[in-house]
Amino acid sequence: MAKAIHSMIRVLDEQRSRDFYGKAFGLDAAERLAFDGFTLVYLSNPESEFELELTINHGRTEPYAPGDGYGHLAVSVDDLEADHARLTQLGLNPMPIRELMHQEKRLAKFFFIQDPDGYRIEVLQRDGRYK
């Protein structure tokens, strides 16, 4: 059986991205690997073995465009309202909390936040299928 281990995004400014993901989701660098032309930084936290891989292409000055194929990365939290308030207080501008209904039952309670490179992250209340 396959196991999901990481997702990769290209970022323009390593430190800006590390600061954002650290403040927003408690992700720290598990490993940083520098190569000729690019650097890989693997971010993780004790909640999950899944990692976010940041790819920094050396010499890149133009921002990346997420395009119309990228959707979002999703994380789950124990207390959605508290996390929304914390992110708001940090000045990270989370979008309003929403609910998604399916067959007259709440499927999800969530909000989105955008990282410095324009990637959207969905923050879901841990409940039901979103553990």
Does 55 share its domain with 76? no
CATH code of the domain containing 53: 3.10.180.10
Measured between alpha carbons, how far is residue 126 from residues 50, 80, 105 in Å?
17, 8, 16
Structural domain count, the chain = 2
Does 52 share its domain with 25? yes
- Give the model's confidence band at 94: pLDDT under 50 very low, under 70 low, under 90 confident, else very high: very high
Q: What is the pLDDT of residue 2?
A: 67
pTM of the model: 0.88
In a domain, 64, yes or no: no
Query: Average model confidence (pLDDT) for the chain?
Result: 94
Count of other CB atoms within 10 angstroms of residue 103: 5
Does 54 share its domain with 79? no
Contact between 64 and 117 under an 8 Å Cβ cutoff? The reply is: yes
Q: Which domain holds residue 9?
A: 1-59
Does 80 share its domain with 131? yes
In a domain, 21, yes or no: yes
Task: For residue range 45-66, list pLDDT tens digits in order.
Answer: 999 999 999 999 999 999 998 8
- Catalytic residue flag (residue 122): yes
Catalytic residue among 47, 53, 104, 122: 122
Q: Which two tokens stand for residue 53?
A: 């891989």
Contact between 115 and 20 under an 8 Å Cβ cutoff? The reply is: yes
